[in-house]
Amino acid sequence: MTLAVDTAAPERMQRRELSERTFAWALISPALLFIAVIVVWPLVETIRLSFTDATLGGENWVGVANYAALFADPKFWQTVGRTFYWMFLAVSLKLIVGLIGATLLNAAVPGKALFRVLVMPPWVIPVAIGVIGWKWMYNGYFGLISGLLQEFGLVQDRVALLASKTSAFYSAIVTDVWVGTPMVTLFFLAAMQGVSRDLYEAAWVDGASRWYRFRRITIPQIMPVIVSMALLSAIWTFNSFEIIWILTEGGPRGATTTLIIDTYKVAISSQRFGEGAARAVVIVVLLAVFSLFYLWFLNRVNRHYGAK
Amino acid sequence: MQIDRLSLPQKIGVYVATFFFLLFILMPFIEMIRVSLRPMSHLMTANFTWWSEDFSLQAYRDMWKTVPLLGRYIFNSIFIATSVTALTMVVVIPAAYAYARLEFPFKSLSLGAFLAVNMFTGAVLLIPLYRVLRTLSMLNTYWAIIIPGVAFLIPTGIWLLRSYLEKIPRELEEAAFVDGASRLYTLRRVVIPLAVPGLIVVGTAVFIGAYAQQFLFAITFNNVREIQPLPAGLYEFIGYQDVTWNEMMAAALTGITPVMLVFLFLQKYLVAGLTAGAVKE
């Protein structure tokens, strides 16, 4: 095909300017319609339901009673605290493990192409399937982890990791880190490969050590990606449902109940729609506030590191 | 290049660290394979043993009896993921094109709104979603899993495809345009053929996402066994008193084979395509 340079083209395009708007909206309208019906309308409806005592039987307007009950419940605040703690710990670990992983996969050693493929399976397979594998490994009677701990003499007896409150919580975190690490690693690796070689070479010529180059070039250069991945993983971790649900269903005695699990239990398992909806609204508000604050922070980081 | 060269101890260090990193990533898979190859009675012995002489494929035969609908679950997973992918792409292609090429009012605002959808999970919208699906008589049908699945994959799909389309030179479209082709014709006959590699990347990413996210919608909106996807189907068996773990692992491994194959065939393009948007600058 020849690329005809037609001087009249811009004008002709301008004549179609009006139809460009219409055309554009026609193109995005199916997507908009989907989102409107499956996300926006349910969201509005969730807000409305949160002011009712809806159950399967029917619903009455109760004003802010659901919220009042929720905020007066010390258990709820425990769950909020636990959720943020869960998010903070899991995200920090994912970023650290992902950064180490990406650095390793970025090293110039034979076999790195294969290693890069081997990182991805936890992301490829359905989360639920991977978690079923972890559930087996955590079990106390013949699970791998308990078995290895005994083998190395670290524990005397079998340990059922999901049966006690503390170990269940941290076991769920380990699994969550496992699920999230491939994506984080992949994005960090891509960012590292995008760092200009000139920077490294200039530092190298000046005799900067590898560690110095990592700290002073790699980290600042990929900082915008680190910060955006932190936000994305924070949202995913906050919203993560399957991992905890399959491992513990929020137990033992609530030790792994995050806001999402609590909402699901109230809304779906016990079908208290109104109370569940109030919890869902709290989640949305918390996430929105958190994200806005974070985007503001991201903006500052980007400016600080001079990214576009 | 010399700057990248590692001394022998450094190389060994990288390999050892990579080994432990990959061990963490792959341990569940190794363990699932190991368990699937051992008879249940030997898995339950008092002392943990890593290795034994009795590896067999028996569990891969027995699982079809223990989980009578296993074949159906695997088919459902593939069918649902394929339908979700097809529907998502039909919706995403035109929208991504509009965001990559056209100027219109509220462009960045509406794109931002699409991306904000990523903030929500199905879990906070389940109650009204349940009612929407009931109103549309879609509960306990494939649609109950497909429709919400599509909605939650649209934003990422638009985002990924848009950054790909932006890289296609405009000149070809302008040439077609100048020759009097209509906008729709240009999209169909010029843009889409040029975008095939990008479509494959986004399609694969959507497929993997669709395969992965079936659990929540399946356990909430569907209680018909015959249309349950694999994760939800197997989950039911994990809840039983006596879980035949070796058969569950065999079934899980069999069930993830299709998506692993898709990934292995396309991984080269996929990894590059997924991260292209992240490191534009």
- Using one digit for the tens of pLDDT, what is the confidence trace for A8-42? 555 555 545 457 888 888 899 999 998 998 888 88
The C-alpha of B171 sits at a distance from chain A's nearest C-alpha, in angstroms, of 7
In this complex, is the C-beta atom of B41 within 8 Å of any C-beta atom belonging to chain A?
no
CB contact (8 A) between residue B14 and residue A134: no
Q: Which two tokens stand for residue A36?
A: 């409107």
- CA–CA min distance A132, chain B (Å): 8
Q: How far is CA A274 from CA A43, A51, B156, B174, in A?
A: 13, 7, 31, 54
- Chain A CB within 8 Å of residue B35 CB: yes
What SS3 state is found at A26? helix
Residue-by-residue pLDDT tens, chain A, 308 positions: 445 455 555 555 554 545 788 888 889 999 999 899 888 888 998 999 889 888 877 888 888 888 998 899 999 999 999 999 999 999 999 999 999 999 999 887 888 888 888 998 998 898 889 998 898 888 876 677 777 777 776 776 677 778 788 889 999 999 999 999 998 998 898 888 888 888 888 888 888 788 888 888 888 888 888 888 888 888 889 888 889 998 888 878 888 888 899 999 988 888 888 888 999 999 989 988 888 888 788 777 777 765 44
pLDDT at B48: 62
Contact B252 A132 (CB under 8 A): yes
- Considering only residues 171 to 200 of chain B, which have any Cβ-Cβ distance to chain A shorter than 8 Å? 171-172, 174-175, 177-179, 183
Task: Give the separation between CA A189 and CA A102, rounded to whole angstroms.
Answer: 5
Q: What pLDDT does residue A308 have? A: 42
Q: Does A290 touch chain B (CB under 8 A)?
A: no
Nearest CB partner across the interface for B177, out of A13, A21, A35: A13
If one counts every other C-beta atom within 10 angstroms of the C-beta of residue B170, the result is 11
- Is the ipTM value over 0.95, yes or no? no
How many other C-beta atoms can be found within 10 angstroms of the C-beta atom of residue A59?
Answer: 15
CA A28 to CA B161: how far, in whole Å? 13
Do B92 and A200 make contact, defined as CB atoms within 8 angstroms? Answer: no
- Cβ pair B121:A288 closer than 8 A: no
d(CA A43, CA A48): 9
Q: Helix, strand, coil proportions of chain A in percent (round to 5)?
A: 75, 0, 25
Residues of chain A found within 8 Å of residue B29, distances taken between Cβ atoms: 121, 133
| Cβ contact A39–B98 (<8 Å) | no
Closest residue by Cα to residue B223 from B150, B147, B140: B140
Sign of CA dihedral B101, B200, B275, A179: positive
Instruction: Indicate the residue of B99, B151, B249 with minimum beta-carbon distance to A38.
Output: B151
Q: Is the Cβ pair B151, A142 closer than 8 Å?
A: no
CB contact under 8 A, A267 and B151: no
Q: Scan for tokens 């989102």, then name that residue.
A: A35
SS (H, E, C) chain B: CHHHCCCHHHHHHHHHHHHHHHHHHHHHHHHHHHHHCCCHHHHCCCCCCCCCCCCCCHHHHHHHHHCCCHHHHHHHHHHHHHHHHHHHHHHHHHHHHHHHHCCCCCHHHHHHHHHHHHHCCHHHHHHHHHHHHHHCCCCCCHHHHHHHHHHHHHHHHHHHHHHHHCCCCHHHHHHHHHCCCCHHHHHHHHHHHHCHHHHHHHHHHHHHHHHHCHHHHHHHHCCCHHHCCHHHHHHHHHCCCCCCHHHHHHHHHHHHHHHHHHHHHHHHHHHHHHHHCCCCC
CA-to-CA distance for A235 and A109, rounded, in angstroms?
Answer: 34
Rounded CA gap, A240 and A261, in Å? 9
* A289-to-A82, B3, B110, B185 alpha-carbon distances in Å: 18, 45, 20, 44
Q: For chain A, say whether B65 makes contact (Cβ under 8 Å).
A: no
User: Cα torsion at B78, B80, B82, B86 (round to 10°)?
Assistant: 180
B-facing residues of A in 2-21 (CB < 8 A) are 2-4, 6, 9, 12-13, 16, 19-21
Question: Is any Cβ of chain B less than 8 angstroms from the Cβ of A228?
Answer: yes
Task: Assess contact for A227 and A301: CB atoms under 8 A.
Answer: yes
> Which pLDDT does position B43 carry in this prediction?
67
What's the rounded Cα separation, in Å, for the pair A148 and A155?
A: 9
- Alpha-carbon distance of A50 to A274, in angstroms, equals 5
Contacts of A64 (CB under 8 A, 6+ apart): A51
Q: Which of B118, B216, B278 sits opposite A191 (nearest CB)?
A: B278
Cβ contact (<8 Å) for A45 and B212? no
Write the burial class of residue A304 (CB in 10 Å: 0-12 exposed, 13-18 middle, 19+ buried).
exposed
Query: How far does the CA of residue A64 sit from the closest CA of chain B (Å)?
Result: 19
Residue A110 tokens read as: 């034979």
- Contact (CB, 8 A) for B114 and A35: yes
Q: Is B20 on the interface with A (CB under 8 A)?
A: no
Q: What is the pLDDT of residue B37?
A: 86
The verdict on B259 touching A (C-beta cutoff 8 Å) is: yes
Interatomic CA distance for residues A243 and A237, integer angstroms: 10
Q: Which of B11, B127, B231 sits opposite A276 (nearest CB)?
A: B127
Distance from CA of B103 to the nearest CA of A (A): 7
Give mean pLDDT in consecutive 10-residue pieces for chain B, a chain of 281 residues.
Answer: 75 91 92 84 65 76 84 91 94 92 86 82 83 87 91 89 84 80 81 86 88 86 89 82 82 89 84 61 36
C-beta atoms of B114 and A105 within 8 A: no
CB-nearest partner of B104 from A21, A144, A181: A21
3 state SS for A194-232: CCCHHHHHHHHHCCCCHHHHHHHHHHHHHHHHHHHHHHH
Task: Identify the pLDDT of residue B94.
Answer: 92
Q: What is the pLDDT of residue B53?
A: 67
A198 touches chain B (CB under 8 A): no
Q: Tell me, what amino acid is at A65? A: A
Number of C-beta neighbours around residue B264 at 10 A = 13
Residue B279's pLDDT is: 46
